[in-house]
Structure 1
Amino acid sequence: MRKIIIFTCIFLSLICIIIFSLFWQKEEIVNTEKLSKQLIKIEDVDGNNYPDFLELDAQDSYSFSYWFNSIILNIINGYITLPSNYEDCAGLIRFAYKESLKKHDQNWIKNTGYKGIVKEDVKKYNYPDIPFYGTNIFKIDKNNINPDSFSNYASARVLIEMNMDFLSKNIEVAQSGDILVFFHPEDPEFPYHVMVYFEDPVSFEEYAIYHTGPVDEFNSGEFRVVKIKNLYKADPTWMAVPENKSFMGVYRFKILNY
């Protein structure tokens, strides 16, 4: 009987030690996460009205750009399906932007249908687990950089004004993944239009890739890939040249640094 009591005491002691150890480890992880968040400051040292924390270094910027361009091409080629609630020019960009920040593991590849070379992911953070901001990665308040001034949605105008930097009206500065912006005030419903600039690495031919947006309630629009030099054929106001008043210029995402 005495042996049974001793064995029971030892067994219960071991159980208590294990429970305490697990609890202590969990507390340590939580405290480490809290400390990590405390070390992250929401500030704008470079003065571009955008939180420094969300900006990527050169290596991460190249990783993001690779995935952004690859995802855009996969969408155009029908490998990745653009969700119906993203079917307009800004929606295409928002979707590719979010997907570019994700971890591109085997599950992601299987779920999306991606076809292409798998390269390094952005290391600093990954969507949707971004400290403070979570899925709200688009700035929507021009006067603040705090997390509550961000949203998971942004119109074309808001993307341009608060999430991109103007580079030039000279298209020669553009790199694949930069955004071409047009403004047509005569169209009150959709005055802003954005296109993805892409340069073929083999032929060096320049293209504009975009979604037309919905035509009517029965037609959700279509993807188009047009050579930059041929944009004028639809309408002279689509020419990507400095002389065109409707062409606002070449823009780049604020998170990029290269």
Structure 2
Amino acid sequence: MSLNALRFWKAIRNALVHRVLGYRVRGHHAFRKVAFACLLLAGTTNAALPVEAAPASELIRPHLNVEQTRIFRAWFVRIVDEQMRQGPSPRWFQQDCAGLVRFAANESLKVHDSAWLRNNGISNRYLPPEADLMPEQRLLAQEWQLGGGKIGPYANAIRLIQYNAVAVGRDLQMAKPGDLLFFDQGDDQHLMIWTGRSITYHSGAERLEGNPDNGMRSVSVRQLMEWKDTRWIPDAANPNFIGVFRLGFLAP
């Protein structure tokens, strides 16, 4: 590649990075448009997604090894399934789609002793093994990247994706249990979780007194692909479906 061509592509890349990182000023529609510009520049619909435009200082590196990641995924799915089976845990305070991801990730990294099981109402039968984690690894889901060098225990859906996840692609078959499906509706973003058997999420609706609806939902892939509201279909043909993402502290 010639020097001029290299400079041209660097200029394009930098412009895209600037626009992606400035989505809050221009609105979320710009975020999605830049995402697809990245896809076009990459020449594929599966390789490049907006989270990859985060600054180099904030690029995610795996913090769990392969075995730790396998165990984390098992606990993450188990905890998500328990929220669906029992209803949201009293220990889960911020109940929305991103809150489900944060809660399940944080609880997955804890020591699952008898006190933990009792507090979460989980049987000690058929449990995943315990991961041998260092103290700093257990804090990974309490120290989310927020952008601008900031970290904290709370990250909304778009920050979870932009600063704390890596792109997998826009083909659902590439997802592993515990991976995230990210949808962008312009002013609203939504996360769903692939459990390996179904797609589970929290609707984000506030639970009202006397209303039995706790916001938890679980659907099969087939059900979701046949929804009349096509905004939520996880297919590359749906412009609202940005893709499958993986928590950045996990091994590939």
Tell me if TM exceeds 0.5: yes
Answer with 1 or 2: which has the greater Rg.
Answer: 1
Residue 100 (1) aligns with residue 108 (2): yes
Counterpart CA distance in 1 for 2:181 and 2:238 is 13
Q: 1:51 to 1:254 in 2, by over 3 A?
A: closer
Counterpart CA distance in 2 for 1:249 and 1:177 is 14
| SS of residue matched to 1:240 | coil
1:50 CA drift (Å): 4.2
| Aligned counterpart, 1:183 | 184
| SS of residue matched to 2:67 | helix
| Aligned counterpart, 2:215 | 222
CA deviation map 1:22-58 (0-9, x unaligned): xxxxxxxxxxxxxxxxxxxxxxxxx683465x71110
Unaligned runs of at least 5 residues, structure 1: 1-46, 201-206
**Equivalent residues of 2:58, 2:145 under 8 A apart:** no
**Equivalent residues of 2:184, 2:240 under 8 A apart:** yes
Q: TM-score, normalising length from structure 1?
A: 0.67
Match of 1:140 among 140, 146, 163: 146
**Equivalent residues of 2:169, 2:244 under 8 A apart:** yes
**Equivalent residues of 1:82, 1:92 under 8 A apart:** no
- Map 1:146-185 onto structure 2 (within 5 A): 149-185=150-186
Letter in 1 for 2:161: I
Q: 1:133 to 1:91 in 2, by over 3 A?
A: closer
CA deviation map 1:176-227 (0-9, x unaligned): 1110111101xx3xx1100001223xxxxxx210010125876685111111
1:120 CA drift (Å): 2.6
| Aligned counterpart, 2:80 | 72
| SS of residue matched to 1:230 | helix
**Equivalent residues of 1:75, 1:82 under 8 A apart:** no
Letter in 2 for 1:169: R
| Aligned counterpart, 2:193 | 196
| Aligned counterpart, 2:204 | 213
- Which protein, 1 or 2, shows the higher relative CO under an 8 Å CA cutoff with sep ≥ 6? 2
Counterpart CA distance in 2 for 1:131 and 1:69 is 19
Count of aligned pairs between the two proteins: 193
CA deviation map 1:142-165 (0-9, x unaligned): x43xxxx21011101110111111
Sequence identity percentage: 26
1:86 CA drift (Å): 2.1
Q: TM-score, normalising length from structure 2?
A: 0.68
1:132 CA drift (Å): 11
Residue 57 (1) aligns with residue 65 (2): yes
Unaligned runs of at least 5 residues, structure 2: 1-55
Counterpart CA distance in 2 for 1:132 and 1:171 is 29
1:118 CA drift (Å): 2.6
| Aligned counterpart, 1:86 | 94
How big is the alpha-carbon RMSD for the aligned residues of Structure 1 and Structure 2? 2.6
